[in-house]
């Protein structure tokens, strides 16, 4: 078997797929990529037994078809330093050797039998399916990942929740202290369904999805999901369990409204946060008369900081405390020029939204308050 492929194209795909492979695997074959030449294409697979990702690349030329496994680190090391050029790859399945010939030299090293590689477990025939724009899915996942938990006692909180309803698709993440809800109003289903995507496959998708207007097909059952995108596919095991009622924690009647420049807000937070207590990272927010005052204090080290920024404010003057690092994460994961902050009182959650939503999309983030010691 023989085929020719671009060195940079192969290197790029291998680096993306390498994120699937664990540093320590129970099965030695999982240290390998599975290569398959079929129908003029090269299909490369990486697996950690729970997540299986495939990438498909067209071949410049090929002779014969077949499958083999090759150590991931060896093949990455072989191609990562090569400049753009065609690679001529010969496979001797009898000797279990691969020969890689390039412009000024060649490599050869052992390969393994493809029969030892675990097979992909397909989702059930009656799986639920939906289609979403690749760029929208990438944005929603990127915006949500920071809010997932790492909680052994509540594993359902450790992933991103996809809630398909009769009115919208909600993509939600929460760790109990902050929450992100992305509503996609043009994706809906008469038969409501849901699944929880673990953090690792969500991160893998974020890194491979492209904003080219293409569609992503998601098929899922109770245990696993199959996500097909341009030039690739991801099969993963889902988190099983019942996700909390996220809508019940979102306040509906916060009467105090702040509209503020997002970058100015971020800058002020970054300047004030280093002077807060390392353990709590508490920032005090005092708002009224078109001014938002941020202050922080660390009694143990006798440090203090205060800064005021202008804003638009409708409501009664008030003070509330939020964790500075959590507020920064929320603001950094929004893209709008201005953000709207809705508050009720110092004991209730604050709601943060872009000041102006995109068409067919509603983005909302929530942050729980911290107790102020007056």
DSSP helix/strand/coil, 331: helix
Cα(131)–Cα(312) distance, integer angstroms: 39
Instruction: Tell whether the model's pLDDT for residue 19 goes beyond 90.
Output: yes
pLDDT tens column, 173-214: 999 999 999 999 999 998 999 999 999 999 999 999 988 889
pLDDT tens column, 197-256: 999 999 999 999 988 889 999 999 999 999 999 999 999 999 999 999 999 999 988 999
Stated pTM of the model: 0.92
Cα(277)–Cα(270) distance, integer angstroms: 14
When computed from its CA atoms, the radius of gyration of the chain, rounded to whole angstroms, is: 25
367: nearest Cα among 339, 332, 326? 326
Flag the least confident range among 118-122, 183-187, 263-267, 359-363.
Answer: 118-122
Cα(270)–Cα(327) distance, integer angstroms: 10
Q: Tally Cβ neighbours within 10 Å of residue 125.
A: 7
Predicted confidence at residue 355, as pLDDT, reads 92
Domains, in order of start, for the chain: 2-116 (3.10.150.10), 128-248 (3.10.150.10), 250-367 (3.10.150.10)
pLDDT tens column, 155-177: 999 999 999 999 999 999 999 99
Angle of helix 134-144 relative to helix 199-208, nearest 10 degrees?
130
Q: Kindly tell me the sign of the dihedral angle through the C-alpha atoms of 204, 208, 210, 214.
A: negative
Cα(211)–Cα(266) distance, integer angstroms: 27
Confidence of residue 125 (pLDDT cuts 50, 70, 90): confident
Cα(239)–Cα(225) distance, integer angstroms: 10
Instruction: Tell whether the model's pLDDT for residue 318 goes beyond 90.
Output: yes
pLDDT tens column, 55-95: 999 998 999 999 999 999 999 999 999 999 999 999 999 99
**Cβ-contact 159, 202 below 8 angstroms:** yes
Confidence of residue 373 (pLDDT cuts 50, 70, 90): confident
209: nearest Cα among 140, 137, 143, 145? 137
Cα(130)–Cα(108) distance, integer angstroms: 44
pLDDT tens column, 332-359: 999 999 999 999 999 999 999 999 888 8
Predicted confidence at residue 372, as pLDDT, reads 86
Instruction: Tell whether the model's pLDDT for residue 374 goes beyond 70.
Output: no
12: nearest Cα among 301, 223, 246, 210? 210
Angle of helix 72-79 relative to helix 7-18, nearest 10 degrees?
140
Instruction: Tell whether the model's pLDDT for residue 26 goes beyond 70.
Output: yes
Confidence of residue 124 (pLDDT cuts 50, 70, 90): confident
């Amino acid at each position: 078997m023989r085929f020719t492929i671009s060195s940079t194209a192969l290197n790029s795909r291998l680096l993306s797929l390498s994120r699937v492979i664990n540093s320590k695997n129970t099965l030695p074959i999982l240290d390998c990529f599975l290569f398959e030449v079929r129908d003029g294409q090269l299909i490369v697979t990486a697996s950690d037994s729970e997540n299986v990702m495939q990438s498909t690349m067209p071949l410049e030329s090929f002779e014969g078809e077949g499958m083999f496994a090759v150590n991931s680190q060896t093949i990455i090391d072989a191609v990562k330093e090569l400049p753009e050029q065609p690679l001529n790859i010969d496979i001797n399945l009898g000797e279990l050797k691969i020969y890689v010939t390039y412009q000024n030299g060649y490599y050869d090293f052992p390969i393994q039998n493809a029969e030892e590689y675990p097979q992909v477990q397909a989702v059930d025939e009656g799986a639920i399916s939906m289609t979403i724009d690749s760029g929208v899915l990438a944005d929603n996942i990127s915006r949500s990942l920071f809010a997932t938990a790492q909680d052994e006692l509540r594993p359902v909180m450790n992933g991103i929740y996809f809630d398909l309803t009769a009115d919208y698709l909600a993509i939600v993440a929460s760790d109990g202290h902050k929450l992100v809800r992305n509503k996609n109003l043009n994706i809906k289903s008469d038969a409501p369904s849901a699944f929880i995507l673990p953090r690792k496959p969500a991160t893998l998708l974020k890194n491979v999805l492209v904003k080219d207007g293409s569609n992503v097909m998601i098929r899922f059952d109770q245990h696993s999901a199959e996500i097909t995108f341009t030039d690739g596919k991801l099969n993963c095991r889902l988190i099983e369990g019942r996700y909390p009622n996220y809508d019940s924690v979102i306040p509906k009647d916060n009467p105090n409204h702040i509209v503020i420049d997002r970058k100015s807000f971020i800058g002020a937070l970054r300047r004030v946060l280093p002077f807060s207590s390392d353990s709590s990272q508490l920032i005090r927010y005092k708002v009224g008369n078109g001014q938002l005052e941020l202050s922080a204090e660390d009694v143990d080290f006798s440090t203090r900081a205060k800064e005021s920024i202008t804003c638009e404010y409708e409501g009664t003057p008030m003070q509330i405390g939020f964790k500075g690092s959590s507020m920064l994460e929320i603001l950094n994961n929004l893209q709008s020029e201005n953000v709207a902050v809705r508050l009720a009182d110092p004991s209730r959650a604050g709601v943060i939204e872009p000041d102006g939503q995109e068409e067919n999309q509603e983005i909302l983030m929530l942050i729980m308050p911290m107790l102020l010691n007056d």
